[in-house]
Amino acid sequence: MDCSYEILPSQHHCTIKTSTVSWYGPLHLAHTKLERDYGTLPDAFEIVEKGLKELPRYGPLYFQAFCLLEKEDLSRDAYDLPRTTKMIARADNSISRELLWKVHLEAAQIQERATKQRVQKHPTLQLNKCLGATRKSYSKALVLCPPNLCWKIWLASGRTEISCGNIAEARVLFLRAYESVSEKGRSTVLLECARLEELCQDLQLARAILTKARLEFGKSDWKVWLAIVNLESRCGQTSRAIKFAENSLKIHFGTGSLRQVHSQTNRLSISCFHVF
């Protein structure tokens, strides 16, 4: 079977000819992204629709459609997201069952972004009171999510509560995430908890959480070290930041982000020395 494809020149951009491999979802997805980046949103959405006509249960095309329709709805200040919501409902009835929870998680985050833009444009509205649809979508995602992945939804919903000032609720949600997460994802949850406590200006607790993360996951997760260095830098503790950066490179010597933050903290230390 011929699995080749062609890239055909058009007036403004390239078009991928998918007719010979219409059964191959990733090619429809690549074509959509090409049109999104170098063409127009309506043309990109037309390609999505052609792909879904051939593969009505192919999840990545639905998520690409959500992205395109969200941009279109918000460009018209349609904060109720009429076209996006219609596509979400369509995915809910068509997509593979194992991906349904991701549909509602994505829906929650789309609705949150739209609500924030709406509140920004209408300052008399209160963000906390306008997030009902977002919270409802998180609830649907939790019902449909496999137990080993529920922590991702608890974590995302906790971030949402932080954005509208519900710190106590966010702590509860992060705790649920920590209790349900596997060993592999636990460092991610701890980093979120540390950020929350830093936001609340409880630096002692933030450092304690990061110390726990470093002792348990410092050898496997370089992001733990990055979070520690960044915290100390933001607190003005440059010497501590440099020390942690140097120690991190002894374990994760090939990690570019750690090398970069090490260089930045050293430059900051030199600058402070010259100032004094």
Does residue 197 have a pLDDT over 60?
yes
Tell me the whole-structure pTM to 2 decimals: 0.85
Mean pLDDT, range 47-57, rounded to an integer: 92
Q: How confident is the model at residue 270 (pLDDT cuts 50, 70, 90)?
A: low
Nearest 5 degrees, angle CA 256-CA 261-CA 264?
A: 125
Residue 20: the pLDDT is: 56
pLDDT in tens, 92-123: 999 988 999 999 999 999 999 999 999 999 99
d(C-alpha 227, C-alpha 217), whole Å: 13
Does residue 154 have a pLDDT over 80?
yes
Quote the tokens at residue 136: 């409802």
Residue 13: the pLDDT is: 46
Residue 269: the pLDDT is: 62
Are 3 and 21 within 8 A, CB to CB? yes
Are 51 and 25 within 8 A, CB to CB? yes
Mean pLDDT, range 179-200, rounded to an integer: 97
d(C-alpha 236, C-alpha 218), whole Å: 23
pLDDT in tens, 3-35: 444 444 444 444 555 555 566 889 889 999 999
- Give bridge partners of residue 8 from the DSSP assignment: 15
Q: Which fold has domain 146-217?
A: 1.25.40
d(C-alpha 32, C-alpha 46), whole Å: 9
Q: How confident is the model at residue 204 (pLDDT cuts 50, 70, 90)?
A: very high
Domain ranges of the chain: 146-217, 226-276
d(C-alpha 149, C-alpha 158), whole Å: 15
Residue 267: the pLDDT is: 79
H or E segment at 17? strand 14-17
Which residues fall within 8 angstroms of residue 147, CB to CB, at 6 or more apart?
A: 180
d(C-alpha 202, C-alpha 167), whole Å: 13
In one-letter notation, the amino acid at residue 23 is W
Are 196 and 170 within 8 A, CB to CB? yes
Q: How confident is the model at residue 276 (pLDDT cuts 50, 70, 90)?
A: very low
Residue 91: the pLDDT is: 96
Mean pLDDT, range 159-188, rounded to an integer: 97
pLDDT in tens, 68-79: 999 999 999 999
pLDDT in tens, 220-233: 999 999 999 999 99
Residue 265: the pLDDT is: 86
Does residue 273 have a pLDDT over 80?
no
